[in-house]
């Protein structure tokens, strides 16, 4: 009976995709705030004492109940983590306080992109007029330095969309948005629209890899938010000016590290999605019973028309791009 209950609970929490790591960010926040309160972090008149944060009577029972409570709190907070991760990506409601700063944040990233493009195209080093050994050595060092700057500019520019209307107010959001665009533009498809249709035909290995990558992006983003909240919650420790004050910058550093991990996972996700569409891009046209094209240009044009139809509400019989496209049905 207990096994059946555990199996039902696991299924309700996400089935095979549920892991303790999924509730770790929420558990971290609950644990940290609880310890700070019980250890007198918010009482300036008392010194910090971790002993007060630990259960004194019936230690094993209290510790067990506390562990269950922390995990339960993490589970209850998980639905809110989804919204928080979307916030970290830059999906800010227009009427909210962050939404008012969205234009400024987007403009900041637009300028970063423009500076990166200028850096990528910079050609400031010219051969020396005096071909002496010292001048040639200085010239080659300058060329190597310029190459490193150009590579840095290229990596930064790759994080951003080329369309100003698609820029996001956060770095993570820009990486994911540009990844979606570059993956689809290669074949004339909209990634989010097309992937829902080709998902049944995607190889199981690809599905598993995509799920793991998305889970990694979600977990690292949630951990970044969790450590950021812990850093803010522990800010009163800065007034103590002792070793406990290091908790604040330590949590902030962990939040920054987790955010960098989320960015790296998002960049790896782009390569994975490109592989999926390179292999399965024909499945969409086949499933819709359209004749497969024999040239890349014709394939791209058909995919563009299919994408327009999928995102629009025009009936197929009235759609300018596909109403005259012949259908090919399998079988006799």
The answer to whether position 134 is within a domain reads: yes
DSSP code, position 288 = T
pLDDT of residue 302: 93
- pTM score above 0.85: no
Of 297, 291, 283, the closest CA to residue 324 belongs to: 291
Q: Could you give the CA distance from residue 221 to residue 255 in angstroms, rounded to a whole number?
A: 9
Q: Which domain holds residue 154?
A: 97-169
Is 111 a member of any domain? yes
**pLDDT for position 4:** 41
Residue 148: the pLDDT is 87
- Domain presence at residue 157: yes
Cβ neighbours of residue 195 under 8 Å, at least 6 residues apart?
273, 276
Angle between helices 97-120 and 133-157 (to 10 degrees): 150
- 146 lies in some domain: yes
Do 229 and 315 meet the contact criterion of CB atoms below 8 Å apart? no
pLDDT at 12: 41
CA 39 to chain centre: 35
Q: Would you tell me how many other CB atoms lie within 10 Å of the CB of residue 234? A: 24
Q: If DSSP codes are grouped into helix, strand and coil, which group holds residue 327?
A: strand
Quote the distance between the C-alpha of residue 191 and its chain's center: 16
Distances (CA, A) of 187 to 120, 197, 211, 240, 268: 26, 15, 23, 59, 20
**DSSP classification of residue 46:** S
In a domain, 48, yes or no: no
- Tell me if 267 sits within 8 A of 175, measured CB to CB: yes
Tally Cβ neighbours within 10 Å of residue 175: 24
- The confidence score (pLDDT) of residue 46 equals 74
Residue 129 falls inside a structural domain: yes
Tell me, yes or no, whether 319 lies in a domain.
no
Domain count, the chain: 1
User: Does the residue 307 lie in any domain?
Assistant: no
User: What would the two tokens of residue 196 be?
Assistant: 């829902």
**Which pLDDT tens digits describe the chain residue by residue (332 residues)?**
334 433 444 444 444 444 556 667 777 777 777 777 777 777 777 777 666 666 555 455 555 555 656 566 666 666 666 777 788 888 888 877 888 899 999 999 999 999 998 888 877 777 777 777 777 788 788 888 888 888 898 989 888 988 888 899 999 999 999 988 888 888 999 888 888 888 888 888 888 898 888 888 888 888 898 899 899 988 988 888 888 888 899 999 999 999 999 999 998 988 899 999 999 989 989 889 999 999 999 999 999 999 999 988 889 888 888 888 898 887 66
Backbone angles phi, psi at 33, to 5 degrees: -65, -40
Instruction: Render 102-144 in DSSP notation, one character per residue.
Output: HHHHHHHHHHHHHHHHHHHT-------SS--HHHHHHHHHHHH
């Amino acid at each position: 009976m207990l096994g059946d209950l555990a199996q039902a609970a696991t299924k309700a929490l996400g089935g095979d995709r549920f892991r303790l790591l999924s509730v770790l960010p929420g558990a971290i926040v609950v644990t940290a705030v609880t310890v700070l309160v019980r250890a007198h972090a918010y009482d300036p008149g008392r010194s910090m004492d971790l002993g007060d944060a630990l259960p004194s009577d019936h230690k094993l029972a209290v510790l067990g109940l506390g562990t269950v409570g922390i995990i339960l709190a993490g589970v209850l907070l998980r639905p809110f983590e989804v919204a928080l991760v979307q916030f970290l990506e830059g999906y800010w409601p227009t009427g909210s306080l962050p939404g008012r700063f969205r234009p400024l944040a987007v403009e900041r990233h637009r300028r970063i992109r423009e500076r990166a493009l200028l850096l990528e195209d910079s050609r400031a080093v010219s051969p020396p007029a005096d071909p002496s050994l010292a001048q040639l050595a200085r010239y080659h060092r300058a060329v190597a330095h310029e190459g490193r700057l150009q590579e840095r500019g290229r990596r930064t520019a790759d994080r951003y969309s080329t369309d100003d209307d698609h820029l996001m107010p956060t770095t993570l959001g820009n990486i994911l948005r540009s990844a979606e665009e570059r993956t689809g533009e290669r074949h004339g498809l909209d990634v989010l629209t097309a992937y829902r249709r080709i998902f049944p035909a995607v190889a199981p290995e690809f599905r598993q890899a995509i799920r793991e990558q998305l889970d990694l992006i979600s977990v690292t983003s949630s951990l970044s938010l969790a450590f950021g909240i812990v850093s803010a919650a522990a800010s009163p420790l800065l007034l103590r000016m002792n070793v406990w004050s290091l908790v604040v910058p330590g949590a902030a550093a962990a939040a920054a590290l987790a955010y960098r991990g989320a960015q790296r996972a998002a960049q790896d996700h782009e390569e994975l999605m490109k592989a999926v569409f390179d292999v399965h891009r024909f499945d969409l046209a086949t499933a819709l019973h359209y004749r497969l094209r024999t040239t890349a240009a014709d394939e791209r044009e058909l995919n563009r028309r299919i994408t327009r139809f999928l995102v629009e509400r025009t009936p197929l019989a009235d759609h300018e791009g596909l109403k005259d496209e012949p259908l090919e049905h399998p079988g006799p």
